[in-house]
Structure 1
Amino acid sequence: MGKWTRRGFIAAGLVGGGVLAVGVGIREGHRAPKLAAMMTEEGETLVNVWVKLAPDNTITAIVPHSEMGQGVFTSMAQMLADEMDADWQTVSFEQAPAHEAYANYPLGRDYILGDTKVPGFVQDTLNGGFLRIAQSMGLQITGGSTAVRFTGMGGMRIAGAAAREMIVKAAAKTWDVPARELRTENSYVHHDASGQSVPYASFAERAATYKPPTQPKLKTPDQYTLMGTSVPRFDIPAKTDGTAEFGIDVDLPGMKYAAVIGPPVLGAETVSIDDTYARDMPGVIKVMDQGHFVAVVAEGFWLAENAVRQLDVTWSQTGAEKLNQADVFNLLRTAMDEVGDKGEEDIAVGNVRRATESAARVYEAEYSVPFLAHAAMEPINATAWVREDKIDLWSGLQNPLAVRDEIAGATGVKKANVTVHNVFLGGGFGRRSNPDYPLMAVEIAKAFDHPVKMIWSREQDTQQDWYRPASVSRFKAGLDETGMPVSWDNLFTQKHDPPEASHIPYKIDNQLIHYAHVDHHVRFGPWRSVDHTQHGFFIESFIDELADQAGMDGYAYRRKLVDHAPRYLTVLDAAAKAAGWGRDVPEGHGLGIALVDSFGTVVAQVVEVDVTGPEPKVVHVWCAADPGYAMNPDGFIAQIESGIIYGLTAALYGDITIEDGAVVQSNFHDYPMLRMNEAPDISVEITNSGAKVGGGGEPGTPPIAPALANAVFAATGIRVRSQPIANFKQGLT
């Protein structure tokens, strides 16, 4: 598949990073009146599809994202409210329903068009085209660090600015004065010449009759009043007092509970079930053979789970029963050997072969990473209530519209009769973008006339995941007499998304980046930062090795390679300065550095590690991050810190292994998380460059593993080329 086609396909497939501009209502005329009955209560006015006004002048921002700890309800409302000149104290949010009206398109639009300026006269057509793609694919996804950079910048800001212009137009008509004589502030329209000052709500009904402008005038950063400030998050009070509803909290009258067991070897089907003991256990209602899984429905979850554990299930053979972890990596390396200097190209710049042959010397290294599970705090769950012609589903979902469409397709129930109630997510990390578990809940509930809540045990959650893929990466660099690279040859396995993850930030004239792909039965799913999590480790570890070959420290070496890019230099310098790079560190300590550009945000991290104990301990992480402009600095920092902790867990301990075709790990005893007492001090500095706004949810994750590995080398002289890094503890004492 060619690069343009692949990029277009990815854009079409991911057009729902959770974005939809007010232009959605423009393409088919002004659609707000069509949605008013669904989206408003008595007295409220839907000014456009994203903004509601109540008679008391309160403003509701309708947010098309899922809340999984990233503060998206707040940041989206914040960006909309700023462009509206709204009084923040009167602003609230509402989660958009899983409905075609809230299918999302600016991710695809902005992903493909980038910074291309589009004339106003074609804006409607473009918006309409991308909307059609989003609607046809049922996309309303939260992922890819797209909320602020696409939903906010290309959707909520435009919606807020358009609503303000519509309100001003209505006020001008009402007062019979030119719109240029009016100003807005704190949800009021002011006409200074006459002394009139009237709340937005007074003009809401009239404003809602206007067609929203496609390209309203947006504020410049010097005009922001809310963007760039750390307003408190909307979701924190409910999460603090326990009133926030997560999927696992859903409780409905007459509800029963289901526990499930899937095949040890993914892809197998049931052959036979001995449920002799389980079906007669107290509280058990039914044992269900669904082919690809078995369920027990009971009066309570623990009753159902205990019964599941008593089942004796025989599963079909898939051909993968003899596959072990070593076999997986042998498959990957064999595929690389077979493609050699060929393979599918990501980048081919200059003449790598000629530059390598004429180089003063050549340096090579190979790295690998294992499968990883998501291990969200809240286990997988969904509650379904299936009637003859109506289905309700309650769950925490990263793509609720797609789930609605999948349920309709699987059951034959009309989409309009499938209602998805999307609630808070107790962690997503990409796992909850897959519709497998909602479909399982519906499949179970079809057999009953009451709601059924399906909960996966932690063991099922770990062993039936969609995993971050295991991968191998080989590098060959041609070096000049000073040790600087004149060629860069990188062959890796298992390319997924985003397509630019394997690209390097460094100025090297001759580059060949190519890959081989291997099919096996361990299923792939997006994992926080997706391919950046592998390539960050691969690239930044190899660059550090090249620095050592040149007799330079990693910071100075990187500076020479990014002197063409001020953003990279700024974050490198900021992180190094914060860490006191070059200072003396205690015996057994080391400093390591890494630089990764992902999701539009440039991040540099310095790690101080202590290897004097039985395993490496991260003492401190210094991070500098440039998201272009941090819309909510406190929220952005929290996401960077979260990404660091998540990445450290994977770097130190993450290791899903395959034995006889099955996942070995089952719970936190053998798939551990970073504990509170292991968490390092973290210092984050934001360097707002004014570049195009980037993401915040994932960019903190990719640099942490290589920074740690490079710190281990600085402390021990041992080069870590595979994860988990804690596996090297015997060599570090």
Structure 2
Amino acid sequence: MGKWSRRAFIGAGVAAGGALVVGIAVRPGNPIDGLSPLLTDGENEQLLNAWVKVDTDNIVTAVIPHVEMGQGVYTALAQMLADEMDADWSKVQILEAPADMQYVSDSIGRDFLFPNLQVPALIEPTVAGGILELAQAMGLQFTGGSYSVRATGQRAMRTAGAAAREMLVAAAASEWQVPAAEITTADSMIIHAESGKSEPFATFARAAAEQSLPAKPKLKSPENYKIMGQPKARHDIPEKVDGSAVFGIDADVPGMKYAAVKAPPVIGATIESMDATTAKTMPGVLQILNMGDFVAVVADGYWQAQQALGTIDTRYSKTEGDGLDQDAIFARYASHLDEAGEDGGDMQTEAGDITKGFTEAATKVEAEYKVPFLAHATMEPMNCTAWVRDGKCDVWSGHQAPVNARQAAADAAGLPFEDVTYHNAYLGGGFGRRSDSDAIIMATRIAKATGYPVKMIWSREEDTAQDHYRPSATSRFRGGLDKDGKAVSWDNIHTHLFDPADAPTIPHYNIASHRIRKVDVSMHLRFGPWRSVDHSQHGFFIESFVDEMAHAAGKDGYAFRRELLAKSPRHLKVLDTAAKMSGWGSALPEKHGRGIAFVPSFGSIVAQVAEVDMSGPKPRVTKVYVAADPGFVVNPDGFTAQMESGIVYGLTAALYGDITIKDGAVQQSNFHDYPMLRIDEMPEVEVTLINGDHERLGGGGEPGLPPIAPAVTNAIFAATGTRVRELPIAKHDFA
């Protein structure tokens, strides 16, 4: 942090009306005029790559380069900037950055592309410039992977806030003819106690822009935080409560028409023919389009379009996926794993002598686990409104990567990037699904073909059948225990590896000999990031097998994990906290069980204990205890909500989530056969947060999910003696 070069430095500008604008200038000569119309009120303001501006009313506006999809990122990032700036939180406003290359995140680029990169100071400017160019090439204005706070917040928002404060102080020191060291700041005020002078930030906005640019502004230490670490109310909640919040599906353009779409049920097929005789006669229908890879009906209203679409008889081309069923997919996985045997596959991690470890093991344990394909099932179905006319294109939607969405629309419209305006909105659920631009592309193509502004909405059936799914997977384990029941060897081979690369690894567990391998299996389905990505699978795999090894060793699951974490005190504290919260070891009613799971992911350490009631016809999760250490918690209420949210999403998948394939197509269609967790099924959740390392912040949106499935299945085993090795739990009969 703080290593800024000539290619990436803190810059400042002053608006004509007296507003100070501070930002990260990614390179000299950036087209500031292109950003000004998007972020300023008119001729009285001038923009310079802004992260923050102070207007004449002393309002601090934080420009957030991430999207709000319920995770509270607007508020958390604004807290980080405002705290370093010593702003009055009650006067802080928030503005989402536009879909523009100026707002790609080199901070995320560094963490995503080179997570452990350490370079000498001499070449840091060159490396920083190269990473920036890579980030721009990838369009990394992206919200996901729990990067917002730990990357953008730490490296950009805090730095910009600290720089703004130092420039304001320098301006005041010059005006008052006093040493800058004698000046303090608080609540958007500049104060010189000795002379009794104090003025709002706005007073020195013009002069501040003329100060030397602080190349390395001083950041606060945690004991001086006033806003970070506090449970500040989220800025987006009031308008979501009163209904004024605008989501992608709320777009309203004069003269707008509606489109319903249907793509071939088997991925890769095309439209060979269609009979739309009936649809053409139905009220409100304006156009029926064969787009090659999907059929679209454009009408005066969405229901008219959807009803007409249902009458069209469509024939599709043959594909390699035709005839492929769920059993055949898992058989393909098994075949690849069998071919790899004990020594094949692609090596990911290896330590110690795995052969010796198993030869000398007193007890050997083997198990195989399976998880299904999963859909995202966002509550707001996929949608996009587009208007292509006069060599320009406007697009309205909610997307996790606005720059990429804008580029996708430009490509679909056949226009230059700069001729597309992308209007981002709140996301009614993202979870990775809205990082793909398929809906943007389809809507833009329809708008181009019709000439209307068109709002395209996927039906829930289309949403379920055309998702970019969380992959199904199979994972096989062998474990070795010595005569004292200590884990001495670990061998794992699994199908697929997408992101992140560390998901199958176990660096936190002290096992002398371990090896992790993978095999790749081709598949015709589309895969995409799903909340917590590969940790959603491997959290279940690893923590289930750890429990099996504990049982084989004749040890309690918590005690067994304590042994494995003995050399990792920070991890051990999280595990111990969760166990203590739950009263681990205390008696439970008959047919009740308690299970524990421990999954570090996305820079955060999370342990969960689930209590399950098995006395009824199906498992009922009654209570979940969560201990989490993300390094430092910027907004405790927001982080707690993310732990709870991860449990809702993960528990839904663990209990019910199951996308199955028949004849190459997805069988599920709506919530009747792809159910969500209902409010009466939600367990009580208790969360304890730990600030374990304020220098290294972890994420909040992803890490709450991976432990819940194994915590629940381990609890089921404790209550019934039945081990669940395949999800969803609903597939199993516990009677």
Same fold at TM > 0.5:
yes
Aligned to 2:52: 51
Deviating more after overlay: 116-125 vs 78-87: 116-125
Q: 525, 541, 545: which is aligned to 2:528?
A: 525
CA contact (8 A) 1:619 1:681 kept: yes
Task: Show the counterpart of 1:570.
Answer: 573
Q: How does 1:513-662 map to 2 (within 5 A)?
A: 513-662=516-665
Contact 1:404 1:420 in 2 (8 A): yes
**Separation (CA, whole Å) in 2 of partners of 1:31 and 1:441:** 29
Aligned length: 711
Distance 1:460 1:214 in 2: 51
Amino acid at match of 2:720: T
Displacement of 1:22 after TM fit?
Answer: 7.5
Q: Contact (CA 8 Å) 1:629, 1:693: kept in 2 or not? A: yes
The amino acid of 2:415's aligned partner reads V
SS at match of 2:157: helix
Report the residue type matching 1:499 in the other structure: A
Distance (whole Å) between structure 2 residues aligned to residue 110 and residue 466 of structure 1:
24
Task: List per-residue Cα deviations over 1:180-234 (Å, max 9, x = no partner).
Answer: 2221111111122332211111222332345643421100000000000011110
Structure 1 residue 163, shift from structure 2 partner: 1.2
- The separation in 2 between residues aligned to 1:197 and 1:168, in whole angstroms, is 11
Query: 2:243 and 2:391 mapped to 1: Cα distance?
Result: 34
From 433, 436, 444, the equivalent of 2:435 is 433
Q: Which runs of 5+ in 2 are unaligned?
A: 1-20
Between the aligned partners of 2:535 and 2:646, the Cα distance in structure 1 is 12
Matched, 1:672 2:705: no
SS of corresponding position for 1:447: helix
Query: Could you tell me whether the CA contact under 8 Å between 1:44 and 1:52 is conserved in 2?
Result: no
Counterpart-to-counterpart distance in 2, 1:241 and 1:480: 61
- Structure 1 unpaired stretches of 5+: 1-20
Percent identity among equivalent residues?
55
- C-alpha distance after superposition, 1:251-288 (max 9, x if no partner): 11100000000111111101000111111111001110
Which residue of 2 is the match for residue 722 of structure 1?
Answer: 726
Q: CA–CA distance in 2 between the matches of 1:212 and 1:309?
A: 62
For 1:704 and 1:243, the matched residues in 2 are separated by: 34
Change (3 A) 1:38 1:319: closer
RMSD between aligned residues = 1.8
**Alignment map for 1:187-226 (pairs within 5 Å):** 187-210=188-211, 212-226=213-227
Contact 1:351 1:510 in 2 (8 A): yes
2:140–2:401 Cα contact (<8 Å) kept: yes
Match of 2:344 in 1: 342
CA contact (8 A) 1:169 1:179 kept: yes
Aligned: 1:700 with 2:704: yes
Which has the larger displacement, 170-179 or 678-687? 170-179
Give 2:491's aligned residue: 489
State the Cα distance separating 1:124 from its structure 2 match.
Answer: 4.5
Letter in 2 for 1:662: A
Change (3 A) 1:168 1:600: same
Report if aligned partners of 1:144, 1:599 keep a CA contact under 8 Å in 2: yes
Deviation at 1:168?
1.7
Paired with 1:202 and 1:47, the residues of 2 have a C-alpha distance of 20
Equivalent residue for 1:409, pick from 398, 408, 411: 411
1-structure distance, mates of 2:41, 2:176 = 28
- Cα separation, partners in 2 of 1:487 and 1:496, compared to 1, 3 Å: same
Alpha-carbon distance, 1:348 to partner? 1.0
The SS at the match of 1:473 is strand
**Displacement of 1:26 after TM fit?**
5.5
Q: Distance in 2 between matches of 1:620 and 1:129?
A: 48
Which residue pairs with 1:175 in the alignment? 176
- Partners of 1:256 and 1:482 in 2: how far apart? 71
Q: Give 1:45 shift.
A: 5.9
SS of corresponding position for 1:718: coil
Q: Give the conservation status (yes or no) of the 8 Å contact 1:23–1:124.
A: no
- What is the TM-score normalised by the length of structure 1? 0.94
In structure 1, how many angstroms separate the alpha carbons of the residues matched to 2:272 and 2:49?
54
Of stretches 182-191 and 421-430 in structure 1, the one that deviates more from structure 2 is 182-191
Alpha-carbon distance in structure 1 between the residues aligned to 2:47 and 2:178: 25
8 Å contact 1:501–1:535 — kept in the other structure?
yes
Partner Cα distance (1:209, 1:339) in 2: 65
1:542 and 1:70 mapped to 2: Cα distance? 31
Deviations along 1:77-132, one digit per CA (max 9) or x if unpaired, are 11100000000011010000001111111012245665777777755444332221
CA offset at residue 448 of structure 1?
A: 2.5
Cα pair distance change 1:334/1:280, threshold 3 Å: same
What per-residue deviation string (whole Å, max 9, x for no partner) do you get for residues 342-389 of structure 1? 211110111112211222232110000000000010000000000131
Q: What are the equivalent positions in structure 2 for 1:306-317 lying under 5 Å apart? A: 306-317=307-318
Distance 1:39 1:120, change over 3 A: farther
Kindly provide the amino acid, as one letter, of the partner of residue 275 in structure 1.
A
Residue 79 of structure 1 corresponds to: 80
